[in-house]
Structure 1
Amino acid sequence: MHFLPKAVAVSVLTLAIAGCEKQSESQPQAEAGQAKSEMAASEPAAQPASANEAFIEFTDEIVAEIFKFAPIAPTSFGLTEADVGYHFADKLGDFSPTSIEVSRQAHSRWLEAMEQFDASQLTGTALTTHQVLASTLAKTKALKPYINAVFSPLSYFSLFPVTQLSGAHLDIPRVLQNEQPLTNEQDAKDYIARLQGIQQAFSDLALVVQQDVDKGLLPPKFAVEGAIAIIGQMTAPAPAEHPLAVVFKTKLAEIDGIDEEQKSALIAAAEQAVADSVYPGYAALKTTLETILPKASANAGIWDLKNGKEIYQGALENFGADGKTAEEIHQLGLSEVARIQSEMAAILEAEGMDSSDVIASYNALFEDPQYVFANTDEGRQELLDYLNQQMDTVSELLPTILKTLPKAPVEVRRIPEYEQDGSAGGYYTGPSLDGSRPGIYWINLKNTEDSPKFTLPTLTYHEASPGHHLQVTIAQEIQDMPMLRNMIWFSSYGEGWALYAEVLAKEMGMYKEDPMGDLGRLQSELFRAARLVVDTGLHHKQWSREEAIDYMHSTIGGSRDEVTREVERYSVWPGQACSYKLGQLKILELREQAKQALGEDFDLAEFNDQVLIHGSITLTVLADKIDAWIAGKKSA
């Protein structure tokens, strides 16, 4: 269903619902021994509860509507039938063209309903939620005339319903394998029912793809080819060997209370569903993709699509442009690239290495065997062990940079092999509320040579702690956070924090005795700065895919295969790659503003709390929150 499209690279949705033990946005709890946050002082005095309650009830009605048409969404949030009020775990939802019109009508109704609420009468989390909802509805309104299949009133912007990177052909198998509960016989029957629904879902999705093409919204040729290749991988095994059947059989074996004869029958039913529904569904989608392939453009930017210029500016605004034009962002990227390469040169000089060509020297490190894990099962396990050690070390230092500490654990896991070709180097998914599923830091292990040792610390700090895992779990523990807020994700805030977290890791001393790791950190920041250049190059300056790959590879180093995957990602997800650097720069700007205003009263841990304890918000709302915090401290 098109209310909640999920993006593979950054599937970062914070999870919260009333009734669980969490902390309040207006008065966050600190862990034992840690100072209380100053957040209460930054909120206005409490007003009559009725205005807040009425608005939160409205947001709950939005959630109920979303869950009705997208029943796979509560599964992703770790919710149960008791939470939602009815049985949903056996349904996938509507993926047909009708669902697009449902989304568009819902957007119009919600915009109209927002006019009933006076923001000046709201306080605390209700006020923040009003600000956030108003912002996201306005951003989608600006894009509404130009986009079709992936129109989503509450989602951050994406464009194409099926690519090598994203779409239901990837999302549904991921939810079933990693998020669908399987603890009893009813869960098993629900799993099978969802398998049986895949043929209809993917057949409907094929109609949506064709409708998009008819409206002039066609992915580039390589993206269509990539999606076809993924479908080929997903349908190559015999039904009994398909990942959806193997996972089912493995989890079913761990369930007590079901006799072996019934387990055998359930396994046979799952395998039959793969043969009779999953494979035909993929076949229908593949047929449509093969039909549109000859029409697909060789251009990698959306500038040649109908209304491409307007779509791209709208995308940039969704991802933190804050009024900056594509050309201004392009120039900002070039400036940041030059600064960061200069800092890398200084490290190379200090280590007695050639700094005349920073990237050539950096690339040479990839060939040094002391930094490369073997591209074998044993080498992959060694790499995973190394990542776990990093996460253990940083967790001990978190109290130095944060007052409010998360409770949920985080694990590192390998990205599934069928997904790794089109996936980024790593990403994070949040924990379930009931604690049954931890936060997961996913790592791409297709080729370990893509991830030498000096590149891994910064990726870990970005995806796990102090990056996305802190951000997601702290938001999850906000006591009065309405469920709706967990369906609104601002990439410039979320990815901005994660990139800012890489700076925090250096400030925590994580690179004190690891200059090559610090070089890797700078290359990571260089990577995000180059994204500003490449994204605007592709979609504004009309660069070809090859031009973008050449610039990226010569600017940041690393393997050409990895750079190619990244450029292909930017091509089908315009604007998103800019959000990291735009968000980080804004947070650093706000931190410097707070330092100047507070002087000796500035506390880094308190500042970081203020960035995180409100949950996902726009950069504009974040700036307002920091201003209020500064004012509160100065008046105390």
Structure 2
Amino acid sequence: MNQHFKLGALAAAALIACAPAIGADQAAAPTKQVAAHPQAGKKLNVLADEYYDALARFDPVSASESGDNRFIDQIGMSISPVERSRQFARYKAFQKRLHAIKRAQLNSRDQTSYDILDYELGMALRFEPFPEHLLPLNQMDSMPVTLANYASGQGAQPLSTVQDYRAYASRLTQLGPWVDQAIANMKEGIKRGIVHPKSVMLSALPQFKQLAASTPEASIYYTPIKNFPAGFSDADKRALTKLYADAIGGKLNPALNRLATFIEKDYIPAARTSTGWNALPNGAAWYKVRVASQTTTDLTPEAIHEIGLKEVARIQGEYGRIGPKMGYTGPAAGLPAWVSQQAKFKPFKTEQEVIDVYRKLDAQLRTKLPSMFNLRPKSPLDLRLEPELSRATASDHYTPPAVDGTRPGVFWSVVNDPTQYGSTGMVTLFLHEGQPGHHFHIALVQELGLPNFRKFGGNNAFTEGWALYAETLGKDMGLFDKPEDYFGHLNDEMLRAARLVVDTGIHTKGWTREQAIQYFSDTLGYSEADSRAQIERYMVWPGQALGYKIGSLKILELRHRAEAALGSKFDLRAFHDIVLGEGTLPLALLEKKVDRWIAASK
């Protein structure tokens, strides 16, 4: 599965992870330029900082995922109905203050901040009618599993100093009350018919059973105590050992046991047998807001479904051309399944051999990327194997650097069984998760001197759309000259296109889980188990998978528009400067920006 950067888009994390669809009429319409008024800019920057801090305090874990280490001892209680209601009140107050600022009195950089903030607040408020908090966990995403994955010290939770250890222990003490709030929310969800499908909760149950340990020492959260850094004193080790034993044994283990029992005995029997969000109360409207937030467009689910079908057909046409070059002579749609059965495309014996290929590719890219990019992040990119602790549930992914420079950006390669690790998708995967994909965008955002809400926030359509667009640059760089590498690129494109079809099919068109699984197996050649894991992801994260392809198609459309308009004057490096140079933008704002650049370049 071609994996995604876990976006800490805080505006959304608050509610669903993202921000409002902007129609063409709203999108930063050019204003008659007047002299910038310093007081207006000052008011905006104060407001933007207060807004970001409200997001970070509401969801501190997303803040640390995004590289902001100020709140690594907090988990927040964003699932609390009371806290959620307070957050919506804050959004309304911020929106009122924003609209009191005259946009025309801002300089052009602040106008962009104004437009993004207006967009994010508008979208966040569109979620107010929909009780996201009654679905606080699933098989893809939950606070207990997120904190468990931090226990290795390899992720967004640093574990290298005594202070770090105390910060993680503080989060563990807050996890027990979070679990009890989640149980209360799910009980309310049962009463109101707002529950997850039974199939996904059956998939989630083993995770939660595994977290519920009989003793502190048997808990995954105790892992840091078994891996003290060399410099810790004996006194510190004794104090931390007691701190962790008390935190885990006192409240956390009993809470996790209550959670596993509740899910098994109460929640799963009450879970629904339907598949899509449209089966929930007001679910069709709820899904449309999710689609708007994840794509930052006003595209309807029906229109996105049709885009997906057209893209699937186009890519299958490419399969028909590349298959014979790989030795395949069957029908185009059967190419992915055939490739998955060929031993020659699984050449590895050890995990070291896998990471060595990525390191060689990384070195190759460092010589090629300067000819395509003026803007490149200063933060280094490290390549690492996923720790054994989280390997079974993780997938290849990127984590951003800490803004204070204490950790680099990291491409994580997940190798459970090296003999089953396919080689055909490696080039495309690294272009997406490493450079010039997530690293060139996310690490660069931290270095542009942007307000915190832009530095640490963002939206899914730009973030994943850029990374998917970055995959296409492999063709420009000659990285797809081998047919199997070009197939790997096509296969990843097919995944993103098929997602448009199944996500909208499930949540709008009444597709069943089984129907969607069959479509994935037929279209992508996935095993039933792999297709099931993908489809169950879309069942609990409606709309999330749409941002990739919609964002990528928009960036490609803008590039082609610029190439056609500018002809010999078109400069790819300059185009990339325009796309990346102001950080993450909603797609409508990006389009306005590129159009202004085309007009000025003429």
TM-score (norm 2): 0.89
Distance (Å, rounded) in 2 between the aligned partners of 1:526 and 1:348: 15
1:67-466 alignment to 2 at 5 Å?
Answer: 67-72=56-61, 74-79=63-68, 88-94=71-77, 95-149=79-133, 160-175=135-150, 177=153, 178-236=155-213, 239-250=216-227, 252-254=228-230, 256=231, 258-290=232-264, 291-320=266-295, 322-354=297-329, 356-372=330-346, 379-415=350-386, 423=394, 425-448=395-418, 451-466=421-436
Counterpart check, 1:49 vs 2:38: yes
Structure 2 match to 1:29: none
Secondary structure of 1:454's counterpart equals coil
Query: CA 1:173/1:113 → structure 2, altered by over 3 Å: closer, same or farther?
Result: farther
Structure 2 match to 1:611: 579
How far residue 544 of structure 1 moved from its aligned partner, in angstroms, is 1.0
How far residue 606 of structure 1 moved from its aligned partner, in angstroms, is 0.8
Q: Describe the superposition over 1:549-591 as per-residue Cα deviations: whole angstroms up to 9, x where unpaired.
A: 1101111123332222111111111111111111111111111
How far residue 445 of structure 1 moved from its aligned partner, in angstroms, is 3.1
Tell me the number of residue pairs that the alignment of Structure 1 and Structure 2 aligns.
Answer: 576
Query: CA 1:272/1:331 → structure 2, altered by over 3 Å: closer, same or farther?
Result: same
Query: CA 1:553/1:126 → structure 2, altered by over 3 Å: closer, same or farther?
Result: same
How far residue 240 of structure 1 moved from its aligned partner, in angstroms, is 2.5
- CA RMSD, 1 decimal: 2.6
How far residue 75 of structure 1 moved from its aligned partner, in angstroms, is 3.8
1:492 to 436, 444, 461: 461
Counterpart check, 1:11 vs 2:6: yes
How far residue 284 of structure 1 moved from its aligned partner, in angstroms, is 2.8
1:552-571 alignment to 2 at 5 Å?
Answer: 552-571=520-539
Query: CA 1:89/1:339 → structure 2, altered by over 3 Å: closer, same or farther?
Result: closer
Query: CA 1:526/1:180 → structure 2, altered by over 3 Å: closer, same or farther?
Result: closer
Runs of 5+ unmatched residues, structure 2: 11-31
How far residue 625 of structure 1 moved from its aligned partner, in angstroms, is 0.9
Output the amino acid matched with 1:454: T
Q: Which moved more, 1:499-508 or 1:220-229?
A: 220-229
Q: Which moved more, 1:55-64 or 1:211-220?
A: 211-220
How far residue 362 of structure 1 moved from its aligned partner, in angstroms, is 2.9
Secondary structure of 1:462's counterpart equals helix
Distance (Å, rounded) in 1 between the aligned partners of 2:414 and 2:160: 29
CA contact (8 A) 1:380 1:445 kept: yes
Output the amino acid matched with 1:12: L
Higher relative contact order structure (alpha carbons within 8 Å, sequence separation ≥ 6): 1
Counterpart check, 1:482 vs 2:459: no
Distance (Å, rounded) in 2 between the aligned partners of 1:397 and 1:14: 31
1:590 to 535, 558, 569: 558
Output the amino acid matched with 1:507: D
How far residue 45 of structure 1 moved from its aligned partner, in angstroms, is 8.4
Structure 2 match to 1:35: none
Q: Which moved more, 1:166-175 or 1:306-315?
A: 166-175
Query: CA 1:414/1:170 → structure 2, altered by over 3 Å: closer, same or farther?
Result: farther
How far residue 477 of structure 1 moved from its aligned partner, in angstroms, is 0.8
CA contact (8 A) 1:450 1:559 kept: no
Runs of 5+ unmatched residues, structure 1: 1-7, 16-42, 151-159
Query: CA 1:413/1:279 → structure 2, altered by over 3 Å: closer, same or farther?
Result: farther
How far residue 621 of structure 1 moved from its aligned partner, in angstroms, is 0.5
Query: CA 1:242/1:438 → structure 2, altered by over 3 Å: closer, same or farther?
Result: farther
CA contact (8 A) 1:201 1:281 kept: no
Query: CA 1:69/1:326 → structure 2, altered by over 3 Å: closer, same or farther?
Result: closer
Distance (Å, rounded) in 1 between the aligned partners of 2:248 and 2:387: 18
Q: Which moved more, 1:175-184 or 1:541-550?
A: 175-184
Query: CA 1:373/1:179 → structure 2, altered by over 3 Å: closer, same or farther?
Result: same
CA contact (8 A) 2:562 2:570 kept: yes
CA contact (8 A) 1:97 1:149 kept: yes
TM-score (norm 1): 0.84
Query: CA 1:327/1:394 → structure 2, altered by over 3 Å: closer, same or farther?
Result: same
Secondary structure of 1:149's counterpart equals helix
Q: Describe the superposition over 1:68-93 as per-residue Cα deviations: whole angstroms up to 9, x where unpaired.
A: 4444455445445xxx6xxx544332
Distance (Å, rounded) in 1 between the aligned partners of 2:199 and 2:362: 36
Identity over the aligned pairs, expressed in percent? Answer: 30
Counterpart check, 1:523 vs 2:506: no
Query: CA 1:222/1:385 → structure 2, altered by over 3 Å: closer, same or farther?
Result: farther
Distance (Å, rounded) in 1 between the aligned partners of 2:219 and 2:383: 23
Query: CA 1:520/1:408 → structure 2, altered by over 3 Å: closer, same or farther?
Result: same
How far residue 344 of structure 1 moved from its aligned partner, in angstroms, is 1.5
1:61 to 38, 50, 71: 50
Query: CA 1:14/1:606 → structure 2, altered by over 3 Å: closer, same or farther?
Result: farther
CA contact (8 A) 1:230 1:419 kept: no
Counterpart check, 1:469 vs 2:449: no
